[in-house]
Amino acid sequence: MTEPSPAVPASGRAAGAAPGRTAVGNSPEGPTAGRTLRPHPPEVSAAKARRWGAFYYAEQVLRVMKGYGWSIFLYSVGQPAAYLFAMGVGLATLVDTNSASAFGGVSYIAFIAPALLVSAAVMTAANEFTFPVMDGFKWRRVYYGPHASPLTPEQIAAGQIIAVTLRFLLQSVIYFVIVAMFGASPSGWGWGSVLVATLAGLAFGLPLMAYAASVREDKGQFAMVMRFIVMPLFLFSGTFFPLDTLPLLVRWVGWISPIWHGTELGRVMTFGYEESPVLTIIHVVFLLVLAWFGWILTKRQFARRMGQ
């Protein structure tokens, strides 16, 4: 015959427990040993949300990304690394033998490596700033839950951007390490191409994010963006050959392409590509202005959609 267990008072404290401590708190192994956890008052929680809301939402997006981390790695790093090996090692043996002088006096692999780094960031932007944004408004409507809290539409948009920017940085760092292992970044400033790729990804992605926030029905718009905007930019932005070797009929594509502006900056940093300082400034200003313009449009579009 078993003995009856001691009664636990309604307060949730076991008999003999000190006031202000729970039975778990008395356990030396309990996570709250010696103290009682109490929630913040509503006004304190609201103040924290208003101040740090963008980072709270960025944390949520990063936790979602973690669930398919291997897919992100293989797409963001594996694919450009395969391009680098195929084009920079396979094709480079022919190119370096016959026309090495056409690529700024460096090997072909050193010439294309910055372009592939920037292109990977832009293609990631094309994925992260399209369907996930529409998903937040239409399918799973994940933006509206945080919006019911003190988080503003601007903070939700900023949180999404922060999370994707961290993805840009991480994948670019990993890819740059691979590039360095191939000996394709002889300059000591090569690490700056990581920041350039991140900026190029934002310059392309933020205007696209604003557009995605305006889409109410999926009728293949994003597939059209990939086929008729992203792919031509990838092919006609001096990725695999200097832009001035193209006819004027298509050269203008590179002039308005974030990939070309980012690629030229990356080449300046990775192997000291010679160009006018004025042109270098134009590259930086172009990317910054495009990213800023995209952010302004995104804020307005998020506020408009969540205010309806």
- Give the distance, in angstroms, between the CA of residue 210 and the centroid of all CA atoms in the same chain: 15
User: In the predicted model, what is the mean pLDDT of residues 232-248?
Assistant: 91
**pLDDT tier at 173 (50, 70, 90 boundaries)?**
very high
**Which CA distances in Å does 31 have to 13, 28, 37?**
16, 8, 10
**123/232 Cα distance (integer angstroms):** 12
**Type of residue found at 50:** R
Q: What is the pLDDT, as a whole number, of residue 34?
A: 61
List Cβ<8 Å contacts ≥24 apart for 126-130.
126/204, 126/205, 126/208, 126/225, 126/226, 126/230, 127/75, 128/164, 128/167, 128/205, 129/164, 129/205, 129/206, 129/208, 129/209, 129/212, 130/208, 130/212, 130/222, 130/225
Q: What is the mean pLDDT of residues 207-224?
A: 96
| d(C-alpha 145, C-alpha 59), whole Å | 15
- Rounded distance between C-alpha atoms, residue 96 and residue 108, angstroms: 6
* Separation of alpha carbons 222 and 170, rounded Å: 25
Q: What share of the chain is helix, strand, coil (3-state, %, to 5)?
A: 70, 0, 30
pLDDT score of 98: 60
* Residue with the larger pLDDT of the pair 298 and 275: 298
**Higher pLDDT residue, 157 or 28?**
157
Scanning the structure block, which residue is given the tokens 């394709």?
184
Domain segments of the chain: what residues? 54-306
The Cα–Cα gap between 133 and 127 comes to 10
Q: Name the pLDDT band for 262 (thresholds 50, 70, 90).
A: very high
166 residue type, one letter: L
Q: Does the pLDDT value for residue 161 go beyond 50?
A: yes
More confident residue, 32 or 187: 187
In this prediction, what percent of the chain has a pLDDT beyond 70?
Answer: 84
Could you tell me which residues come within 8 angstroms of residue 201 by beta carbon, excluding any fewer than 6 positions away?
118, 121, 122, 124, 125, 164, 165, 168
Q: Say yes or no to pLDDT of 1 above 50.
A: no
Contacts of 121 (CB under 8 A, 6+ apart): 168, 171, 172, 197, 198, 200, 201, 262
Res 298 pLDDT > 50: yes
Is the model's pLDDT at 100 over the cut of 60?
A: no
Is the pLDDT assigned to residue 276 strictly greater than 70?
Answer: yes
Residue 182 vs residue 112, higher pLDDT: 112
Res 308: pLDDT: 66
d(CA 123, CA 94): 28
pTM metric for this prediction: 0.83
**Residues 213 and 221 sit within 8 Å (Cβ to Cβ):** no
